[in-house]
Structures are given as structure tokens and as C-alpha cells.
Structure 1
Amino acid sequence: MIKHIVMWKLKDFAEGADRATNARKMKEQLDACANIVPGMFAFEVALAQPGLEASYDVVLYSEFADQEALKAYGEHPTHHALKPFFGAIREARQCMDYDI
């Protein structure tokens, strides 16, 4: 099994909206990716808690059966459609994949 964790720090203002608005929109778009490929066992998107100092604004935690399932997710059209918006609103992105 492969765990796939991604964190995004968002710009204060981008694409005509503030950070909080873009974070909510990002979460909605990511939530639409749940269960889009076979072998996806877990898919959870969370926003930073208000009032807490956090270095990142949005986090994705997901689990895949194997590298092939993760690759299928990465190549899926629904996933690809997110990239232009995410690229425009993000300040930084961190990703870690690991086998368990």
C-alpha cells in the first residue's frame, strides 16, 4: 500500500478570491476526486483550523493499493483538470509518497 500526502500553502489573494475562499474551492474540487480510480482506499481533504498557526492551508491524505493505482489517479482527467487552478493559487506545495 502507498500513502500519498500533499500539502498546499495558498497565496493571500489569487484568481479574484482570498485565501479562505480558494481553500474551500480547492477542497470541493479535491473531494470530487475521491474514488475516481480502482485501488484508492482512502481520500481525505482537510483545511487548516481557524486561529491556529499553520504553515499549510490544505492537506490531502490518501492511500492506494499500489504504485499503479497512484499513477492512474495522477493521470486521471478529473485530477488533471485541477492543476491550472491549483497552480494559480498556490504559494508552495509539498508531497510525500511512501510504502507501508
Structure 2
Amino acid sequence: MVKHIVLFKLREELTQAERETVMRRFKEAIEALPARIPFIRHIFVGLNANPDEQWDICLDSEFDTLEDVKAYSAHPDHQAAAGLLKGYKQDRACVDYNL
């Protein structure tokens, strides 16, 4: 089993309303993916509630293999969901590790 965790930082110049809208839309889109990508074993998007922290969004997911993570990343439905952050994302960090 592979744990796939991704952190996103949104651009500083976004208003609070813009940040909330972008984060909510991203969360809804990502959490809808298991219905269309059957090899996602678990997926959850956490939205940062602490403005003193660096990262705004945490995507926490699990897959059977690293190959499944790669297939998920390339899947058109994932690409569409990830595209919701285009123009809003300042930075991204990722780690994949075996459970």
C-alpha cells in the first residue's frame, strides 16, 4: 500500500473569499474521484484552519502500488480536478511512501 500526500500553498494575493472558494471546489472535485477512478483506496482533502501555517490544502490518499499513483496522476478526471488550482497555486510538496 502506498500513501500519497500532497500539500498545496495558494498565492498570497488571493482574498479570503477566493481562497475559500478555490479550496472548497478542489476538495469537492478530488473527493468525488473514487467514483470514477476505482483504484483509489482512500482520498481526503483537508483544508487548513490555522492561518499561521504555511500550507493551505492537504491531499491524503492511498493506493495499492506506486504505479496506481502514477496512473491516478495521469487520469483525465484527476487532471481536471487538479486544474482547478491552476492560476491559484503558489507551491506544491509531495511524498509517496509505503505503508
Cα shift readout 1:59-85 (whole Å, capped 9, x = no counterpart) = 100010012221221121101113433
Corresponding residue number in structure 1 for 2:22 = 22
- Report the AA paired with residue 95 of structure 1: C
Cα distance, 1:19 vs structure 2: 1.4
Say whether 1:71 aligns with 2:59: no
**Contact 1:39/1:66 (<8 A) preserved:** no
Counterpart-to-counterpart distance in 2, 1:4 and 1:31: 14
Separation in 2, partners of 1:21, 1:84:
14
TM-score, normalization by structure 2: 0.82
* 1:1-100 correspondence to structure 2 within 5 Å: 1-11=1-11, 12-13=13-14, 18-49=18-49, 51-100=50-99
Deviation at 1:52, TM superposition (A): 4.6
Percentage of matched positions with identical amino acids: 35
Asked if the contact 2:22–2:85 (Cα under 8 Å) also holds between the matched residues in 1, the reply is no
Aligned partners of 1:45 and 1:61 also within 8 Å: yes
Higher helix share: 2
Runs of 4+ in 1 over 6 A off after TM superposition: none
Tell me, in whole angstroms, the C-alpha distance in 1 between the residues paired with 2:9 and 2:83: 16
Where structure 2 has 5 or more consecutive residues not aligned to the other structure, the ranges are none
TM-score (norm 1): 0.82
Using a 3 Å threshold, how does the CA distance of structure 1 residues 38 and 18 change in structure 2: closer, same or farther? closer
Give the root-mean-square deviation of aligned CA atoms.
Answer: 2.0
Which stretches in structure 1 are left out of the alignment for 5+ residues? Answer: none
